[in-house]
Copies of this chain bind each other. A is one copy, B any other.
């Protein structure tokens, strides 16, 4: 990926960053890069994620999924980082089978998914790092019962990705399920380039080796200056803009296949950087659709936003037919991709024209190598922002309270958090 930060300079935008400030920030980028490289060399917690392109073993993933043959459908059971990487890669690169993600516990939806899937031809991909995630385990129990009731041997059709021990590992051992490891030192949201994110795309016919190769190429571009490294240029400019009041970062790919990528980015950014009173708010958007939904706010609302565009240079061709209506004649014969490119150029310029900052991430096209580079680049950018902000990008302590409360409410043990739920304040307004 390449990154263009021209529209985030103070010569264009307010808030914006001056060239001088960027030069000064670059000293801090150099020191952060040293810290990151030291963490990678020692395989320290979190930093280890940036070594996945070299360490990941696509052959082990293939060996686990190949015995499943060519299923017609795939259901992935996982939540948060255990689903978003897999969904991002599969949605971006296209699946040659039907895919469903059980990443929630809504009974209305799970019934509908199980009714729709051809269970005897469906593979099951279960992912939980800890092996204790209530939503994922509950869903898996429902899924395996549905398979059993349909007379389908679920043990033959299941791949489990989990840590060394825990209830899910126990279940996998007990039923002799195919099992892949979650790599040590890699938080869920940084695990797209491990079995956590690669099993589903491998089953869906995606070139996972190409994804890893693209990530590897991006990893080789990490360097001690934001002016030499697209990933660090992106991280540094978002950090500098956040310091100047652009606390919201709207991630707006101009490619529908990257809609899920924006979800993945939002988790990466929010959970890694939202702590200690700090952290910008990621907003998921999609071009051109959200021009008709969010652009009014981005262009004319408060000056608290950065818009990040992700734009492929090449798209498939699809011509717009000529029409008999004069007022539409200008569309006839143009490509649909040409229209989308024009919408992007117009939107980017419309923000610049009123001094609103934006950054452009450029991909050659949406393919395995470019996607791998994008995911790796955003992870490296996120780690850099963690260093610059002085927060630990690799923990998520604020999520634990609600997990304990949930468990307590369901009778899974004594937790003081569950008691706090009962004492809530109420001011109801009823119809």
Contact = CB atoms under 8 A, between A and B. Distances in A.
A177 interface: no
A56 interface: no
A299 interface: yes
B256 A410 contact: no
Contact of A399 (B12, B267, B296, B418): B296
Interface stretch (A30-38, A57-65, A275-283): A275-283
Contacts of A412: 330-331
Contacts of A343: 105, 134-135, 402, 406
Given A325-B170, A327-B167, A106 B342 contact: no
A271 B297 contact: yes
B105 A430 contact: no
A32 B24 CA distance: 50
Interface in A274-314: 274-279, 281, 283-284, 286-289, 291-305
13 contacts: A4-B426, A6-B428, A12-B425, A103-B289, A142-B321, A170-B327, A188-B292, A248-B281, A270-B296, A299-B401, A339-B406, A349-B424, A353-B401
Nearest to A136: B292
A5 B424 CA distance: 11
B292 A279 contact: no
Nearest to A13: B425
Most buried by B among A315, A331, A332, A429: A429
Nearest to A228: B429
B410 A109 contact: no
Contacts of A68: none
Contact of A342 (B348, B410, B427): B410
Interface in A78-108: 79-81, 84, 94, 103-108
A419 to B, nearest CB: 10
Contacts of A79: 288-289, 292
A413 to B, nearest CB: 7
B431 A1 contact: yes
Interface string A197-215: 0000000000000000000
A396 interface: yes
A229 interface: yes
A133 B328 CA distance: 10
Nearest to A426: B6
A405 B345 contact: yes
A219 to B, nearest CB: 11
Contacts of A317: 107
Given A80-B292, A141-B320, A293-B271, A431 B339 contact: no
A130 to B, nearest CB: 11
A176 interface: no
A229 B328 CA distance: 46
A315 B106 contact: yes
Contacts of A291: 80, 399, 402
A78 to B, nearest CB: 9
A161 B256 CA distance: 25
Interface in A337-383: 337-340, 342-343, 345-350, 352-354, 366, 373
B5 A427 contact: yes
